[in-house]
Chains A and B, each alone.
Chain A
Amino acid sequence: MSEVNETLIPQLGIVTDIRTDTPDVKTFRVNALDGGKVFEHIPGQCAFLSMPGVGEALFSITSSPTNKEFMEFSIKRCGCVTDWLHSMEVGQMITIRGPYGNGFPVDTDFRHKDLLFIAGGIGLAPLRSVINYVRGNRDKYGKVDIVYGSRSKDDLVDYDEIINEWVNEKDFNVHLTIDREQEGWDGHVGFVPNYVKELGFDTDKTCIICGPPIMIKFTLAGLIELGFKKDQVYTTMELRMKCGVGKCGRCNIGDKYVCKDGPVFRCDQLDEMPSEY
């Protein structure tokens, strides 16, 4: 039996670096036990991480597949498993299984398009994978705009990479915003949906949104107002999951399973799905 592949039996990874990004977000670097990555993935795909005895939970893979050395997970502390992950130290083994989900269409629909990324808070985690994939394949994509907002400057996830790398990238425009005025912040202040409308983008862009549901809702409405069509807008969803492969039965929206038919959906596809659960 043990030679038969079983997705519910995880592999092992080792945490080789822990970076504190915000007061409640840490980014964990995970390697296979013998170095390198545990598996390859597509931007937007997810993996189950667990500590046996604590529990298992699903996280989007923050790093880009163009990173050949390790995988990264930016994780907000908000429950049992994430509490434990936030308390662990470098050198800790964890279990990992995946990748799960469809991922973003980076090598098809996104190719040669101008891309507009819109993220709120920890919602940047899955988009960072796409953004760094685009940076790693720069000639295959058009101009890139990134609108990223959070509660405060301290809540912007991996601010260093944004400030030191993204803003210097060719044809990259980074627009940061925070919810309230703060000392030491001379950038934009205000919520993401309004900021997107203020910035007023060309409507030939492909948009990729991730953030709190309320942010997604108002941002999408704003984009429609600007003249975008729903089939130009992609988002990624998260619901409770136990298996990752459409069998445990809890992450469906209508007849679609977020784990395998998603987590990435185009907004016109969402219209075909129930608005509730």
Chain B
Amino acid sequence: MKKMQAANLNDFFRAAAAAETVYLPVDSADGARFMKYEDGVTLSMACNTTRSAKDFFFPQVENLVDFKVDGKKIEVIDGREEVEDFVIFGVRACDLASFEILDRVYLNTPPVDSYYKNRREHGTVITLACGRPQETCFCKVFGIDAADPAGDVTCWMLGDDIYFRANTEKGEKLIAACGSLLTDVDEAPVENAKTAIRAMVDKLPIKDLKLDKISERHLLENFNSSVWKDLYESCIGCGTCTFVCPTCQCFDVREFKTNEGVKRFRCWDSCMYSDFTKMAAGNNRLSQLERFRQRFMHKLVYFPANNDGVYSCVGCGRCLKSCPISMNIVKVAKALGGEANE
């Protein structure tokens, strides 16, 4: 365990940024967002960023391949390059857990997604224990410990001091590079802080959300539940929940013509949109009920069925804050899960 004075944080970022690009949560007009470290940029004290951290590994828009077309001839241009090493500072436990969910899709289920893998391998993640969990937080439901996230390095901000613990070789290297700023210390203050954070988490209103009923039931019973009809009605299909969600990973593949040829890219897409499944033969999800059900069934039932029971939700609470009609996964889980949550 190492310690540094919070006043020196800027020096720490500067030292880290000398070797690789550093991103950190910074206050902006629409809440905290990850921004590149430069002189004068300071760490946000917000509970978490408005958008999730998935962009670092699964960007909103990403080039896949280029083509040149000349008459009947086509040339395929594979423009993939190793990305440069980068550091993300201030990732909370929920967002770290979302990386493991994205890993299941893009790394652990063959074939490996080379674009995702490339970013994942070059990113160093510095997590930050949650100092101020909010009423919308429910990571504990998914077994996530807001007080002690892993990642390459874990940080705790305690008053005037910041504590660092390297968890991986990558983390050790980063800490070593900033060595002169850090001093070896005893873990006791951090242990006390963890206890305090866990006590705060235990007082949060949604911490007892029960998913057992949903998990025990047959998939079709959940699918055919009468609750969908009542729940979906207010959904306006804006897709905001999918965009702020750290685990939503659906994408579209599209193209545009440039002066040089054609760029094929992928971009985030949303199962909440009416054209998501539209094809020449018709659209198999014609109503918002079907689209709404798909999103929550995927997170609470389908994903766990294919991933050792792991839910595709980390309880970050972003959808609770951003949905314009105040619908969210907690309301759905409560309704679908039945009396256990009343």
Query: In the complex, what residue of chain A is closest to B276 when comparing beta carbons?
Result: A250
Size range of the chain B interface in the assembly: 35 or more
- Per the bound structure, the CA–CA distance linking A1 and B106 in Å amounts to 17
Tell me whether B281 and A78 are in contact (CB under 8 A).
Answer: yes
- B307 closest partner in A (C-beta): A255
For B280, the chain A residues whose CB sits under 8 A away are 78-79, 82
Looking at the assembled complex, report how far the CB atom of A108 sits from the nearest CB atom of chain B, in whole angstroms: 22
In the assembled complex, the Cα of A243 lies from the Cα of B290 at a distance in Å of 22
With known contacts A78-B280, A94-B74, A274-B220, A245–B111 Cβ distance under 8 A: yes
- The CA-CA distance from A9 to B263 in the complex, in Å, is 12
The verdict on B259 contacting chain A, using a C-beta distance below 8 Å, is: no
CB distance from A47 to the nearest CB of B (A): 15
Q: Which chain A residues in 204-238 approach chain B with CB under 8 Å?
A: 238
B82 interface residue, CB < 8 Å from A? yes
> What's the nearest-Cβ distance from chain A to residue B225, in Å?
11
B294 at the interface (CB under 8 A from A): yes
Does A7 have its Cβ within 8 Å of any Cβ on chain B? yes
Q: Which of B219, B251, B280 has the most CB of A within 10 A?
A: B280
B301 at the interface (CB under 8 A from A): yes
**B217-275: which have CB < 8 Å to A?**
219-220, 223-224, 249-253, 255, 257, 261-262, 264, 266, 269, 271
Interface size of A by Cβ–Cβ distance < 8 Å?
A: 44
Decide: A274 and B223 in contact? CB cutoff 8 A: yes
Q: Which of A50-58, A62-70, A148-156, A169-177 contacts B (4 or more CB under 8 A)?
A: A50-58
Q: Given A78-B280, A249-B271, A254-B223, A52–B250 Cβ distance below 8 Å? A: no
Residues of A within 8 A of B114 (CB): 1, 4-6
With contacts A4-B80, A95-B76, A245-B111 known, is A53 near B284, CB below 8 A? no
Q: Tell me if B81 and A254 are in contact (CB < 8 A).
A: no
Q: Which residue of B has the minimal Cβ distance to A76?
A: B280
Partner of B76, one of A11, A89, A254, A272: A11
B residues bordering A, Cβ < 8 Å?
A: 64-65, 67, 69, 72-74, 76, 78, 80-82, 105-106, 109-111, 113-115, 118, 219-220, 223-224, 249-253, 255, 257, 261-262, 264, 266, 269, 271, 276-281, 284-285, 290, 294, 297-298, 301-302, 305-306
Q: A93-B74, A248-B250 are in contact. List 20 more A-B contacts (CB 8 A).
A: A5-B114, A6-B78, A6-B115, A9-B76, A10-B65, A11-B76, A52-B67, A52-B264, A53-B69, A242-B252, A243-B253, A245-B110, A247-B105, A248-B252, A250-B269, A254-B220, A255-B219, A272-B220, A274-B219, A277-B284
Please give the residue numbers on chain A whose beta carbons come within 8 Å of chain B beta carbons, in ascending order: 1-2, 4-12, 51-53, 55-56, 78-79, 82, 89, 91-95, 238-240, 242-243, 245-252, 254-255, 272, 274, 276-277
